[in-house]
Amino acid sequence: MKRPYLLPTLLGLVGVAAMVSLAIGSAEHPTQEIVLGIRLPRVILGACVGAGLATAGALLQALLQNPLADPFVLGISGGAALGGVLALALGWTLGLGPMSVPFFAFAGALIATVLLYTIAGAGGRAPAHSLLLTGVVFNAFASSVIIFLTTAVDLSRVAGMFLYLIGTIRVVDPWVIAVVFALLLFGLGVGMYYAYALNLLAQGDETAAHLGVDVVRVRRVILFATALMIGASVAVSGLIAFVGLIVPHVLRLILGSDHRVLVPSCALVGAAFLMLADTLARTVLAPTEIPVGALTALIGGPVFLVLLRRDLNRWVR
């Protein structure tokens, strides 16, 4: 696609996705109250989560020079989930009210990122595979703690924890939506500012250094921005798999690898994708809702395997 048409096309896609999501629901004759009071916040939040996960995925893939890197693989989502579950299980609020679970989720994402650094790290000079391995191990650890907590705490809290983890877009306090939106914009801004540096970093750390990139600094900033976006997303939606993996992957096949195009495109397509997926999730078995995380995994898993197979064919020639 030619570049001048790209931005209008993607913005149009987001607009259409938003209109469709607002128009469709379980109520046959939706009142203004349902559309604006219930659907609109959920559509906005879905867009934020989708954009955040897809952008974070693209940034991590470039940073680790691995097209299969993903918020989940690296344990950052796992850290965020663990933070939120701890808050729910132990009733921690810090007087933050509706912001308490999001706050702990973000803290969990940051701690996972910092751990990734200090354990695999040498202060940001870690080779990619050590980061990936640390992420895998941290994920296993986080899941174990979560399973332990669900068996250890009072049964009345388990339902809440389960709902938190399964990956649904929850309707939350407007302030939370505002904070999530702000964090997403910040992360996206950082990602776009460093998009060209990410092109260079995708060539490998030493080549990036040979081309003038301060690798350690760029890595730190990008990992922090990624933790912000993932923490914010997981806090309001639990674990939604594959968005951070598939959206960048598909877009790279269509648009090429230049992150100056790829990063903003991931944000827009990720937003449209999750809005539509969430609409499907809440209507297909209405009035029962399917967790959107289960839906993205259901669609995303097979799609990803097909992409991977085709990708391998192309590389092996």
What minimum distance in Å lies between the beta carbon of 122 and other proteins?
A: 13
65 belongs to the binding site for other proteins (CB under 8 A): yes
The whole-angstrom separation of Cα 57 and Cα 60 is: 5
Q: Which is nearer to other proteins, 135 or 248 (CB)?
A: 248
Cα angle 234, 305, 236; round to 5? 10
Near other proteins by CB under 8 A, which window of 64-72, 135-143, 160-168, 227-235?
64-72
76-105 residues in contact with other proteins (CB under 8 A) are none
The whole-angstrom separation of Cα 46 and Cα 55 is: 14
Read out DSSP for 233-263?
HHHHH----SHHHHHHHHHHHHH-S-HHHHH
57 belongs to the binding site for other proteins (CB under 8 A): no
129 belongs to the binding site for other proteins (CB under 8 A): no
The two structure tokens encoding residue 2: 């030619």
168 belongs to the binding site for other proteins (CB under 8 A): no
The whole-angstrom separation of Cα 102 and Cα 96 is: 10
Candidate list 206, 287, 288, 313; residue touching other proteins; CB under 8 A: 206
215-244 residues in contact with other proteins (CB under 8 A) are 215
Amino acid code (one letter) for 224: F
213 belongs to the binding site for other proteins (CB under 8 A): yes
What minimum distance in Å lies between the beta carbon of 229 and other proteins?
A: 20
- Does residue 255 contact residue 210 with C-beta atoms inside 8 Å? no
Q: Which is nearer to other proteins, 3 or 210 (CB)?
A: 210
What minimum distance in Å lies between the beta carbon of 189 and other proteins?
A: 12
Angle separating helix axes 215-237 and 76-90, nearest 10 degrees: 40
5 belongs to the binding site for other proteins (CB under 8 A): no
What minimum distance in Å lies between the beta carbon of 209 and other proteins?
A: 5
Say how many residues touch other proteins, by CB under 8 A: 33
Residues in the chain: 317
Near other proteins by CB under 8 A, which window of 77-85, 140-148, 172-180, 191-199?
191-199
Candidate list 5, 8, 312, 317; residue touching other proteins; CB under 8 A: 317
Candidate list 93, 143, 203, 283; residue touching other proteins; CB under 8 A: 203
What minimum distance in Å lies between the beta carbon of 149 and other proteins?
A: 37
130 belongs to the binding site for other proteins (CB under 8 A): no
The whole-angstrom separation of Cα 119 and Cα 174 is: 37
Candidate list 18, 43, 202, 235; residue touching other proteins; CB under 8 A: 202
The whole-angstrom separation of Cα 190 and Cα 136 is: 26
Residue 272: CB atoms within 10 Å: 27
Near other proteins by CB under 8 A, which window of 8-16, 24-32, 199-207, 284-292?
199-207
Near other proteins by CB under 8 A, which window of 88-96, 167-175, 213-221, 297-305?
213-221
Point out which residues bind other proteins (CB under 8 A). Answer: 61-62, 65-67, 193-197, 199-200, 202-204, 206-207, 209-215, 252-253, 256-258, 260, 314-315, 317
